[in-house]
């Protein structure tokens, strides 16, 4: 019994991103792996560029403060910037690639580390005292302490309606 190999012909319009083409190549490689599992050792996987990097956050609250913890491995204090404008805290930074010119001659078979510019913004609750916010960077972990002020009482009241 003969077995027919169906090969998918891909049409990639000129406006399609390089990422979409690489995903298509990856699908083809996976299909080939199932068709002939022993060819995997000689097959080359396409290199897919990461879409970006978003550092993981953790936010905890106590009666007196909010604490934001951010993992920023491989970054220095100078690579990160924190701003507060109109009760919005924004963290910006860049994780730069550690590859050197010598690395261009190397052939990377697996790259899971991501690099790039990141930005995260959070709307702060009205109870945060923005004048006393502090940040500490140690061992690749940024800890932002947001102390609470007195609970603001709502500025409003019911207005009585007079009848004539």
Q: Which domain holds residue 93?
A: 57-100+107-147
Give the pLDDT band of residue 107 (cuts 50, 70, 90): confident
Backbone angles phi, psi at 113, to 5 degrees: -75, 140
Specify whether 44 is located in the same domain as 78.
no
Q: Examine the domain organization and report whether 120 and 77 are in the same domain.
A: yes
Q: 110 pLDDT band (50/70/90 cuts)?
A: confident
**Predicted confidence (pLDDT) at residue 158 exceeds the cutoff of 70:** yes
Q: Tell me what percent of the residues of the chain surpass a pLDDT of 70.
A: 67
Residue 121 lies in a domain: yes
Evaluate if pTM is beyond 0.75. no
Q: Does the residue 123 lie in any domain?
A: yes
Instruction: Specify the range with the lowest mean pLDDT, choosing from 68-72, 75-79, 144-148.
Output: 75-79
Report how far apart, in Å, the C-alpha atoms of 137 and of each of 27, 73, 77, 116, 141 are. Answer: 42, 11, 6, 19, 6
Give residue-wise pLDDT tens across range 116-143: 888 999 999 888 998 999 999 999 999 9
CA-closest candidate to residue 113, choices 139, 76, 74? 74
The pLDDT of 76-86, averaged and rounded, is 91
| For residues 7-22, average pLDDT | 55
CATH number at residue 88: 2.60.40.790
Provide the 3-class DSSP secondary structure of residue 136: strand
- In this structure, the answer to whether residues 128 and 112 fall within a common structural domain is yes
What is the model's pLDDT at position 87? 87
Q: In Å, how far are 58, 79, 93 from 146, measured between CA atoms?
A: 13, 21, 20
For residue 84, give Cα distances in angstroms to 90, 115, 124.
Answer: 6, 25, 9
Q: Which two tokens stand for residue 2?
A: 């003969």
């Amino acid at each position: 019994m003969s077995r027919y190999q169906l090969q998918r012909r891909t049409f990639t319009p000129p406006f399609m991103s390089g990422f979409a083409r690489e995903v298509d190549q990856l699908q083809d490689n996976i299909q080939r792996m199932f068709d002939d599992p022993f060819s995997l050792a000689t097959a080359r996987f396409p290199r897919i560029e990461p879409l970006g990097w978003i550092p993981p956050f953790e936010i905890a609250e106590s009666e007196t403060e909010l604490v934001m913890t951010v993992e920023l491995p491989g970054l220095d204090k100078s690579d990160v910037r924190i701003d507060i404008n109109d009760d919005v805290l924004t963290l910006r930074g860049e994780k730069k690639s550690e590859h050197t010119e010598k690395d261009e001659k190397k052939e990377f078979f697996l790259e899971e580390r991501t690099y790039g510019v990141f930005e995260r913004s959070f709307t702060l609750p009205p109870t945060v005292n923005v004048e006393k916010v502090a940040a500490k960077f140690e061992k690749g972990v940024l800890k932002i302490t947001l102390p609470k002020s007195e609970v603001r009482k709502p500025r409003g009241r019911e207005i009585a309606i007079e009848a004539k």
